[in-house]
Amino acid sequence: MPDDAIVPSESSGPVSVFDMLKVGVGPSSSHTLGPWRAAEHFVDRLRSSGRLGQLAAIRVELYGSLAKTGRGHGTGVALMMGLCGHDPETCDTAEVQRIGPEAVESGRLLIGGEQSVPFVRDRDLAFDSTEVLVGHPNGMRFVATFDDGSTADQVSYSVGGGFVSHEGEDVGDDSVDETKRLPCPIESAAELLAWCDDGRSIADVVRANERVWRTDAEIDVDLIRIRNVMRDCAFRGVSTTGTLPGGLDVARRAHDLHRALMGPIEIDDSATWLDNLRHADLGFGDTVRFVSCLALAVNEENAAFGRVVTAPTNGAAGVIPAVLFHHLAQLDPAEWERTDIDAECVRFLLVAGEIGAIFKKRATISAAMGGCQAEIGVSSAMAAAALTECLGGTVAQSLMAAEIAMEHHLGMTCDPIGGLVQVPCIERNAMGAIKAISATHLALAGEPELARVTLDDVIDTMWATAQDMNQKYKETAEGGLATRISVSVVEC
Ligand code: SF4
């Protein structure tokens, strides 16, 4: 790493692939999932201090980027869900649509599922776009008032990808366990390459580290669960028509694209849909359309508050499923029969997760810190490395693929129209997926030892670019397309 003030923005230390691939609810990991988790954390603190039963009122103040694009990103509804004790991984996603109107009708919120307090959305969720808290552009303060008039508060930061940190609590964030000692600690692509010197693949090395948290069987089961959430999400996306919420009137397109390619969907389960991919007879042009269709499908679901896998963020959730399922669809029926499909998916996700973790440790996965290069760029790099390993590339070629994918996202700004995760976000997932596949094939045909730029070089350049980037291009909706096109956002 060059010494000219390139300092990683987020905590280093152990990061599991399950921190990089989390089940959540759309549309944003930093503005929906992070605040949701922070609200759950605050309510847990109230409960464990024994004061939840004395709660008389609750208020949340949102600052910086959270205030500027929170309305379009569903931050308010995510906070209400978290305050009421719903978990983003297991909740009924229909509740996301109900909770706001119900709170307005009753004028109350059932905190932690047990303590009812008065709640007026415009009063008790305060968006202050004039102030930025010192810890991170995505800052929020929770204030609880008790029956006796005393108060308690918590300042939290949503630092990207659904990770959250809390002021006054230890450095780092909720998900990262600093106490774990990994057999193969990895802070850079060079270190990952070195751990593979003994002939192990990237997936082998990552699995060795993951055994600190889980058994082999648990790693496989939990990654297949992640794959299944991605599969269910893509299937819902290609099965659904209509217009996305938020006021921009964006029509869903994945359904019609899928129908044109594969015919009408005559099944109602995603497992059969995935299995049927073996019969997809895709030529080159179809492949591009198919990958784009899957990426749109996932991100249309994300924009509609559906359940997605944060990979490494919600805004970029479509890239990895699109590339993974494209990879499976490219297997001919005989190859499909020979291949352990679940094992192939696990391998893909292990590699993707580790590449994302290196970006998180060495730079950022937060658009509020680094613009869209930190979301779509990182997901494209993750997918490129994973696809390269699955296609038989060397470790060096996989890292080269990740480098190529990120190199061509450097400087990409975040400028969501209306603060909604729709335009340009949904199409950007298709572009990120296509770039990942191109990067893979360039790397497979390339010689990594001749490459002039390493993955670590490009990660450090991304971080330097993030620091140079004007704040208006960092998830504020104050620059780019966001100021060119006006829209009246309808808050959910
Ligand atoms: S423009 Fe990119 S970083 Fe910004 S919200 Fe959309 S997908 Fe996320």
Q: Does residue 378 have its Cβ closer than 6 Å to ligand 1?
A: no
pLDDT at 6 (0 to 100): 37
Task: State which ligand 1 atom lies nearest to the alpha carbon of 375.
Answer: 3
Which residue carries 């658009």 as its tokens? 367
Q: What is the CATH number of domain 26-166?
A: 3.30.1330.90
CA-nearest residue for atom 4, ligand 1, is: 414
Query: In this structure, which amino acid lies at residue 205?
Result: V
Other beta carbons within 10 Å of 395: 25
Task: State which ligand 1 atom lies nearest to the alpha carbon of 374.
Answer: 3
pLDDT at 177 (0 to 100): 58
Nearest to 299 by CA among 100, 53, 27: 27
pLDDT at 171 (0 to 100): 44
pLDDT at 2 (0 to 100): 33
Are the beta carbons of 433 and 380 closer than 8 angstroms?
Answer: yes
CA-nearest residue for atom 2, ligand 1, is: 372
pLDDT at 491 (0 to 100): 67
Nearest to 465 by CA among 314, 363, 316, 315: 363
pLDDT at 178 (0 to 100): 56
Q: At what angle do helices 284-303 and 319-330 cross, to 10 degrees?
A: 150
Alpha carbon of 63 to ligand 1 centroid (Å): 19
Domain ranges of the chain: 26-166, 189-212+214-483
Instruction: Return phi, psi of residue 475, to 5°.
Output: 60, 40
CA-nearest residue for atom 3, ligand 1, is: 372
Are the beta carbons of 429 and 311 closer than 8 angstroms?
Answer: no
Alpha carbon of 446 to ligand 1 centroid (Å): 31
Are the beta carbons of 327 and 348 closer than 8 angstroms?
Answer: yes
pLDDT under 50 in the chain at which residues?
A: 1-9, 171-174
Other beta carbons within 10 Å of 481: 14
Task: State which ligand 1 atom lies nearest to the alpha carbon of 316.
Answer: 7
Are the beta carbons of 458 and 401 closer than 8 angstroms?
Answer: no
Q: Kind and range of the H or E element at 152?
A: strand 151-160
DSSP string, 204-249: HHHHHHHTTTS-HHHHHHHHHHHHHHHHHHHHHHHH--SB-SSSS-
95-132 pLDDT tens trace: 999 999 999 999 999 999 999 999 999 999 999 999 99
Supply the DSSP symbol for 67.
Answer: H
Alpha carbon of 170 to ligand 1 centroid (Å): 29
Partnered with residue 146 across adjacent β-strands are 55
Six-digit token string for 398: 């996989």
Query: What three-state secondary structure class fits 397?
Result: helix
Alpha carbon of 53 to ligand 1 centroid (Å): 40
Give CA–CA dist 427/187, Å, rounded.
31
Q: 263: alpha, beta or left, given left = phi > 0 and alpha = psi -120 to 50?
A: left
pLDDT at 279 (0 to 100): 84
